[in-house]
Every structure is written in structure tokens, then in C-alpha cells.
Structure 1
Amino acid sequence: MDNSSMQDTSTSLRGRLVSAMSYVVPPVLALLLAGIVWETWVRVSDVPIYMVPPPSEVLKQLFWEFDFFINEGSVTLFEALVGFSIGAGVALTGAALMAHSRFLERSLLPLAILVKVTPVVAVAPLFVIWFGFGPVPKILITALITFFPVLVNGVTGFRSVDRGSLDFLRSLNAS
């Protein structure tokens, strides 16, 4: 390897590093500034710590109770993933049906829109009454929130497949 190719590699690496830093540094600085302003505001304004804890207290609590946050975070992550999977699965199934049948689309889309415009705040207490305080209402709320955007984008995606690609796959007996 000659000197010029090594220099080109180091120049391109330096350019990529500078480019990456230009994306990373501004949000990090903004977050740091927001934390400093928050900490200063809480300390200066005599706000009770139980109402608005300063970031230093939040980080201290996170450090001392790390296992608790990991355990609770894993439960939340599980509920979110299950809810997303259910919502996306039902929505993609509905989208596939709607993409192939205008009758089904005209029949089911108004119901999907009704689900979308119903405030989650109105439905959440009903889910808690019906299913209790366990993971089920949280999973169902996540599925409900996920359902409509995936349905609409699924129908759009299924309908926008290139006819030439479909013909090519049919010629190969693809399923």
C-alpha cells in the first residue's frame, strides 16, 4: 500500500468522524444545557424536590436503584413488544385483506377510523376495569395505538407493489 492510499483512507476516516460528530455534538450539548437549566431552576426557585426533582437527584436514584429500573424496564419493554406485535400482526392481516378487496376496505376502514379517533384516555380506564391492573390492559393499549398507522401504511405498501415484479415472481412460481 502506498502513501497516497493511506493518506486518502485517513482523510476519508477523518471526514466521516467530523460528519458523525456534527450530528452527535449538537443534541448532546442541547441535552447538557437543558439539564443545567433544569438543575439551576429547581435549586433557585425553591420548588419542592418531590414535585420536580433536579437531574442530579434523578441520576443518583437511577444509580442506587439500578436493578429496580432494569427489572421494571424489562417488564415495560416486554409489554410494549407484545402489544406492538399484536397490533402490527392484526393490522397487516387487515391491510392484506383490504389491499385485495375494495369491498373489505370500504367495510372495515370506517371501523378502523373509529378506533383511531377514539381517545386512548377514554378507552384505558375501560380496559383496566375489564382486564384488571396487570399487563393485559397495557398490551391492548399498545396494540390499539399501533394498529391504525400500520394498517394504513400496510394497505398503501401492498397496493404499491410493482406489477412487473409480481409478474416476475409469478413466473418463478413464487408464493
Structure 2
Amino acid sequence: VPHYIMPGPSAIAYALYDEFPLIAPHLGYTLVELVSGFSIGAIIGLVMAAVITQFPFAEKIVAPYILILVTTPMLALVPLLILRFGFGYTPRIIAVALAAGPMVMINAATGFRRVDSAKI
């Protein structure tokens, strides 16, 4: 591939090294948004998993909405979040939480159900 179409790995590494002072603050903001969103999503997912494993009727209520969240591409939700919350941390954190929460809930609920009741 010609270098004017795709630069080589050494050119990419040099550009990353050269521009790192410009990238570093944005990398920090992105990590804060990522950790915040995942933490919120994980906490909500764990709580929801505990609720649906203890109360089967709650799973029947929540399951269709979780299925919608899992199957809807985040690319479709992000513009709606930006329209509602504006450009800032909030829509990004909510998008990460909406992406992580259902996955944590599904996997935690599966784990909770598979634990032998004698071991609790």
C-alpha cells in the first residue's frame, strides 16, 4: 500500500509520539468518561441481575427492554442522547452505561443462577 494512502507503522508511531502532548488531555477525558459510564452501567446491571434472579416476574417485565437495548446500535442512540443532553460528558457517560449495563446484567444473572444454593 502506498504511503500516501496508508502510512507505515513507524510513521504512525512517530506521529503518535510527536502529537502525544496534544492527545494526552483528551485521552484523560475519554478514560474518565469510559470508567464513569462502565461503573454506572455495571452497578445498575448487578443490581438488576440480583433483582431478576430473586423475583422471576421482574425478569418478565425487564427482559423485553433489555433485549431492545442490546439489539439497538449505540450509533442510533448517541444522536438522541446528544439532542437531549447536549455536547458534554453526560451523553457519553450514558451511552457507555447503556452499552455496558445490559451485558453485565445478562452475565451476572447467568452467574447468579448457576451458583449452587448449598454454597450460598
Mapping of residues 1-175 of structure 1, within 5 Å: 41-43=1-3, 46-47=4-5, 52-166=6-120
Q: Which has the larger radius of gyration?
A: 1
Q: How many residues align?
A: 120
Structure with higher RCO (Cα < 8 A, 6+ apart): 2
User: Secondary structure, in 3 states, of the residue corresponding to 2:2?
Assistant: helix
* Structure 1: unaligned runs, 5 residues or longer: 1-40, 167-175
The alpha carbon displacement at 1:70 in A equals 2.1
The alpha carbon displacement at 1:66 in A equals 1.7
The alpha carbon displacement at 1:56 in A equals 3.1
Q: What is the TM-score of this pair, normalised by structure 1?
A: 0.64
Q: CA RMSD in A?
A: 1.5
The alpha carbon displacement at 1:119 in A equals 1.8
**Identity between Structure 1 and Structure 2 (%):** 35
Output the CA distance in 2 between the equivalents of 1:141 and 1:124.
7
The alpha carbon displacement at 1:55 in A equals 2.9
Deviations 1:78-127 (A, max 9, x none): 11000100111111111000000111011111111111112211111011
Deviations 1:117-173 (A, max 9, x none): 12211111011111111111111111111012111111111112222212xxxxxxx
Output the CA distance in 2 between the equivalents of 1:159 and 1:101.
12
* Structure 2: unaligned runs, 5 residues or longer: none
User: Secondary structure, in 3 states, of the residue corresponding to 2:115?
Assistant: coil
| Letter paired with 2:75 | V
User: Secondary structure, in 3 states, of the residue corresponding to 1:111?
Assistant: helix
The alpha carbon displacement at 1:69 in A equals 2.0
Q: What is the TM-score of this pair, normalised by structure 2?
A: 0.90
